[in-house]
Structure 1
Amino acid sequence: MSTQSQLDQIHHVAIPVSDIAASVAWYREQFRCDVAYQDATWALLKFANMNVALVTSSQHPPHIGVLHDNAGQFGPLTTHRDATRSIYVPDPDGNQIEVMDASSVRR
């Protein structure tokens, strides 16, 4: 049985939207969340227990972001504009998982 401290953490779930600004406005009106980042192609909304990324499908695939202490074991990491480092890997069914270097993520 795993203890809580040994479990990897889900950083975010990314869902596709057609208009980032309109979607951010809708989520802010409906829920208590903060905008951690926003540009024309994606936004990161902070909720109490996790984050939701709103993404445009032309720039980012729908995915689950998982923090991992050794993300480099999955392959070469890409440094993103927010300074996080990650790699996208498919699960056995083709769902995209963004394995994020835990040390590159501000919490």
Structure 2
Amino acid sequence: MSTQPQLDQIHHVAIPVSDIAASVAWYREQFHCDVAYQDATWALLKFANISLALVTSSQHPPHIALIHPDAAQFGPLTTHRDATRSIYIPDPDSNQVEVMDAASVRRY
């Protein structure tokens, strides 16, 4: 019996918005989600199967975030204000991928 590594998880997808508070209000009015974090430059909305990050372009790039057990293999990790540690890397088409250190990810 072969042992395959556990699949990595998608933590969140980040999309750019012009007004964090207005976008949070709109998503909360339209859909059933919880606000895990919110400030003036980004918000994290929790859905049943994934999180959605709302970001301002001046602070955060649009990206997809994956949880990886050895994120440091991709390069030096940055510690963020929510205590997660990650690195942004481009995929072959220059899409930004945030590789999050599994040990630093809070389970909301």
What is the TM-score of this pair, normalised by structure 1? 0.96
Give the equivalent residue in structure 1 for 2:81.
81
Give the equivalent residue in structure 1 for 2:106.
106
- Give the 4+ runs in structure 1 shifted more than 3 A: none
Instruction: Tell me, in whole angstroms, the C-alpha distance in 2 between the residues paired with 1:106 and 1:89.
Output: 21
Give the equivalent residue in structure 2 for 1:90.
90
Give the equivalent residue in structure 2 for 1:56.
56
Structure 1 segment 23-62 matched on structure 2, within 5 A: 23-62=23-62
Paired residue total? 106
Query: Aligned with 2:65: secondary structure?
Result: strand
Instruction: Tell me, in whole angstroms, the C-alpha distance in 1 between the residues paired with 2:41 and 2:65.
Output: 17
Unaligned runs of 5+ residues in structure 1 are: none
Instruction: Tell me, in whole angstroms, the C-alpha distance in 2 between the residues paired with 1:35 and 1:43.
Output: 7
CA RMSD of aligned residues (A): 1.5
Shift of 1:6: 1.2
Instruction: Tell me, in whole angstroms, the C-alpha distance in 2 between the residues paired with 1:17 and 1:106.
Output: 24
Instruction: Tell me, in whole angstroms, the C-alpha distance in 1 between the residues paired with 2:95 and 2:102.
Output: 21
Query: Aligned with 2:15: secondary structure?
Result: strand
Shift of 1:66: 0.2
Q: Deviations over 1:30-64 (max 9, x none)?
A: 00000000000000000000000000000000000
Q: Which amino acid aligns with 2:36?
A: A
Instruction: Tell me, in whole angstroms, the C-alpha distance in 2 between the residues paired with 1:106 and 1:86.
Output: 13
State the identity %. 84
What is the TM-score of this pair, normalised by structure 2? 0.95
Unaligned runs of 5+ residues in structure 2 are: none
